Amino acid sequence: MMYKRTAMARSEGFCTRAEGGNLYIEGYFAVFGSRYELWDGAYETIEPGAFDGQTNGDVRALVNHDTTLVLGRTTAGTLSLRVDERGLWGSITINQQDQDAMNLYERVKRGDVNQCSFGFDILDQDVEYKDSVPTVWRIKAVKLYEVSVVTFPAYEDTSVEARRKDFEQAEKRRKEEWQARMKSRLKGEDNGT
């Protein structure tokens, strides 16, 4: 099952750069192993290898996930992405003729906007459900659509709701399985193994 997802990335190393007459916004859009909180008692991590084969596709750089505010695109050569041991790193070449892009560049330069995010579908994941410990989704492979420079990095409500429904269904199944085992034990049909 695939979900359209948005996740927050840490702001470490997210910055502007001017070189050779060009302006850039650069940084990590995802960091491997970081905890991305979904809600109290549930989080996900992006595993190394999750972005394998995704940096050469048609990926867009957006502002606040708004598809009308495109900053760059891999197929146009205005967004470059790479995966290293730390995570998914990107560099956006700013269009200096685009006032929206220049305004954002200045906001990032001042530190007013310093976080990023990305949108993707989950292709492969492991889920760890345990009693009285957080539920953990370990994302192992994604289809990457976009990276965004964002004011408020947060999960989209729909993606959190999808995760919460998965969690609630798993909890329901676990309770039903436990009840069935207990009924079997009470009837003497199960020796407790």
- Kindly list the domain boundaries of the chain, sorted by start residue: 4-155
CB atoms within 10 A of CB 162: 17
**pTM of the shown model:** 0.74
More confident residue, 149 or 193: 149
More confident residue, 13 or 172: 172
pLDDT for 4 beyond 50: no
Per-residue pLDDT of 24-62, as tens digits, reads 999 888 888 888 877 788 888 899 999 999 988 899 999
Per-residue pLDDT tens for 103-140?
A: 999 999 988 888 888 888 889 999 887 777 788 889 99
| pLDDT in the model for residue 70 | 96
Cα gap 59→70, rounded to integer Å = 11
Answer whether residue 1 shows pLDDT above 50: no
Give the pLDDT score at 156.
Answer: 42
Average pLDDT over residues 156-176: 58
Q: What is the pLDDT of residue 162?
A: 47
pLDDT in tens, 63-95: 988 899 999 999 999 999 999 999 999 999 999
Mean pLDDT lowest among 36-50, 102-116, 145-159, 169-183: 145-159
Which of the four pLDDT bands, split at 50, 70 and 90, describes residue 190?
low
Angle at 121 between CA 120 and CA 127, to 5 degrees: 115
Distance CA 54, CA 88 (A): 10
Residue 147 to residue 168: CA distance in whole angstroms: 29
CA 182, 183, 187, 191 torsion: positive or negative? negative
